Amino acid sequence: MYRSLSVRQKQIVWAWAFLAIPVVFYAVIRFYPTFNAMVISFQDWNLLGDRAWAGWKNYDKLWNDPVFWKVFKNTFVYLLIGTPVSLVVSFAIAYHLDKLRFMHGFLRMLYFLPFMTSAVAMAWVWRWFYQPVPIGLFNNFLAATGIPQIEFLRSTSFALPAILAPAVWAGLGFQVIIFMAGLRAIPRSYYEAARIDGVSNWTVLFEITIPLLKPTIVFIVVFSSIGFLRIFDHVFNMTTGDPGGPLNSTKPLVLMIYQSAFTDFNMGYAAAQTVVLFLILLIVSLVQLRILRDR
């Protein structure tokens, strides 16, 4: 039967034969679990025993759960502080690093290093930095200079920024590299023309560099937004004694999902939160792509 096909048809058959691998992979590894999670979100299931249909119960519980709204807010605080801060800082570093020739490769490596480090190891080291006297690095320094110590992780107002700082730092290396690649891709001739016209550095930055970096910025904003909306390892490891910080002040949605599923064994409730997170990620990504692309 294969022999009777035309060359064009044979090409199509082969194309599909090769495509079948990623298609099957996506169907089994991605779409099936996603679909299953949506089904579980309408069920009651404690991992042991049978699943029972629960209708909208899990979503109803979520709507009326004050912890969920607290966590919802935290998740957006991570996003709304984390993304702009990391964007500005990484651009500033990349912009200046790009102009620097002395030890360029070494410095770039230093900025990239945290990105390659395990988030768990990093979180535990920062957890130690933030401890109160007598062991914490920062507080020992404050105590030595006579300044009252700050309860970084045991404070309802400082805990979230304290956790966000190493998370921003960890992602910086990657963003710096992407920005530098973007900067290199801008044709030199624009800068030369600007110099001949005698334009100031600020004008060059705002009229040439940033507009031409738009695709890079779009990529980094979308990428880091998704990262901050899914923040988990830093929070989990820095607050294991009281997961999610004092009075849930640092708990992001992913940690709440984890706790519902694997400490409360309430799989239906966890799945409902997952569906909500999925919708948030979808909406945020679509909005960002729309806003940053057509203007």
Q: State which residue, 50 or 294, has the beta carbon closest to other proteins.
A: 50
Cα 180 from Cα 216, distance rounded (Å): 10
108 close to 97: Cβ distance less than 8 angstroms = yes
Binder among 25, 203, 264, 291 for other proteins (CB under 8 A)? 264
Among the residue ranges 129-137, 176-184, 196-204, 208-216, the one whose residues contact other proteins (CB under 8 A): 129-137
Residue 132 interacts with other proteins (CB under 8 A): yes or no: yes
Among 155, 169, 232, 284, binds other proteins (CB under 8 A): 155
The smaller minimum CB distance to other proteins, of residues 75 and 131, is found at: 131
Minimum CB separation of residue 61 from other proteins in Å reads 9
Stretch that binds other proteins, among 10-18, 105-113, 144-152, 286-294 (CB under 8 A): 144-152
- Minimum distance from CB of 151 to other proteins (Å)? 7
In the complex, minimum distance from the CB of residue 273 to other proteins, in angstroms, rounded to a whole number: 16
Query: In angstroms, how far apart are the furthest CA atoms of the chain?
Result: 88
Q: How far is the CB of 17 from other proteins (least distance, A)?
A: 34
Contact between 127 and other proteins by CB under 8 A: the answer reads yes
Residues within window 64-93 making contact with other proteins, judged by CB under 8 A = none
Using the rule CB under 8 A, is 247 a contact of other proteins? yes
- Contact between 198 and other proteins (CB under 8 A)? no
Residue 279 tokens read as 């919708």
Residue 196 within binding range of other proteins, rule CB under 8 A? no
Q: How far apart are CA 43 and CA 37, in angstroms?
A: 10
44 binds other proteins (CB under 8 A): no
Interacting residue with other proteins among 17, 146, 189, 295 (CB under 8 A) = 146
Minimum CB distance to other proteins, residue 28 (Å): 18
32-40 long-range contacts, CB within 8 A, separation 24+: 34/278, 37/271, 37/274, 37/275, 38/271, 38/275, 40/267, 40/268, 40/271
Footprint of other proteins on this chain (CB under 8 A)? Answer: 46-50, 127-128, 131-135, 139, 143, 146-149, 151, 153-156, 241-243, 246-247, 259, 262-265
